[in-house]
Amino acid sequence: MSSYDPQDTASEQEETVALKGHFYGVYLLASQSLDPRYRGKCYVGFTVNPKRRIRQHNLGYDFGGARKTSSRGPWLMIMIVHGFPNNTVALQFEWAWQQPSLSTRLKMFPELKRKLPRETFFDYNFRILGYMLGVSPWNRLPLSVRWLEADYERPFNMPFPNHMEIVSGKVSISASQRMRSYDAVAPPLVAWASECHLCMQQIVHPERSRLGCTNPMCRLTCHMMCLANYLLGDEPGHYIPVGGECPLCENRLSWAALLQRKRLLMGVPEERQDHDEDRIDDVGVHCNIEEAPEFCD
């Protein structure tokens, strides 16, 4: 675990470009309304495109915003948590942040059931987030906490996982960036072995179960489960590795980077997601999907 130093974010102020179809974020809004009934109120939501989403919230429900935010702004998107492997995991996180007293992961903390006296709505939601980042399964994910509004930045009161990062600056989504990032992450041709280097068995369904090292000079070829179990060797009781050393070249591996490389090599099509976040906001379909077991890609 590590503590937050505002100076750590000083070099991260420039806008970050994320891949369309590979970005899943859970954000926190704060109302800047002049109406005292709404000013300071907060809203937690899911998005695949932060710039588009805040614009929709401020335009209102008829333009794709949520019912709960319509005519109660203007809204600021204060922060966004991203780095989730898929939209299901991000939605699990969103639901728990909205409903800490119902979440199976958070209801063990009675102090999260309600806002404290004199505590602002933002401070309450920020306090919930601090607890969430420290409990399983989220504390196993390579998440980034991104501050979008510098005036709100503050340290977490809870220990912060070492493998996560705190950054500052806007994020934009680019479709054209996708192929450039692909070229940078993986070579055009990967030389795979037919057998797993760990279990020495044939890899029958390579498109589903094969993983390799992120070092382009390494020829590691493994079953996904074999490599996961290898990386989890010193961490019994978990299903998701955080990272570890490559068993072949000893390069430092990130599980999230391994899965990202696999998706890019396979040319996974972008998900149909343009309107998913709008329906999730308003239809009331927040079933407790966090009951699912710990997740892999």
Each residue's pLDDT tens digit, 169-228: 998 887 754 444 444 444 446 778 999 999 999 999 888 889 999 898 899 999 999 999
At 84-117, the pLDDT tens digits run: 988 999 999 999 999 999 999 999 999 999 999 9
pLDDT in tens, 24-79: 999 999 999 999 999 999 999 999 999 999 999 999 999 999 999 999 999 999 99
Question: Hey, what are 141's tokens?
Answer: 């994910």
- pLDDT value of residue 154: 95
When mean pLDDT is compared over 186-195, 234-243, 279-288, the highest value belongs to 234-243
Does the pTM exceed 0.85?
no
Return the pLDDT at 262: 82
pLDDT at 286 over 50: no
Q: What is the 3-state secondary structure (H, E, C) of the chain?
A: CECCCHHHHHHHCCCEEEECCCCCEEEEEEECCCCCCCCCCEEEEEECCHHHHHHHHHHCHHHCCCCCCCCCCCEEEEEEEECCCCHHHHHHHHHHHHCCCCCCCCCCCHHHCCCCCCCCHHHHHHHHHHHHCCCCCHHHCCCEEEECCHHHCCCCCCCECCCCEEEECCEEEECCHHHHHHHHHCCCCCCCCCECCCCCCECCCHHHHEECCCCCCCCCCEEHHHHHHHHCCCCCCCCCCCEEECCCCCCEEEHHHHHHHHHHHHCCCCCCCCCHHHHHHHHCCCCCHHHCCCCCC
Under CATH, to which class is 186-266 assigned? alpha beta
| Domain coordinates in residue numbering, the chain | 6-177, 186-266
For helices 255-266 and 224-231, the axis angle rounded to 10 degrees is 170
Torsion 161-163-168-172 (CA) sign: negative
Given pLDDT bands bounded at 50, 70 and 90, which one contains residue 10? very low
In the structure encoding, which two tokens stand for residue 274, read together? 């343009």
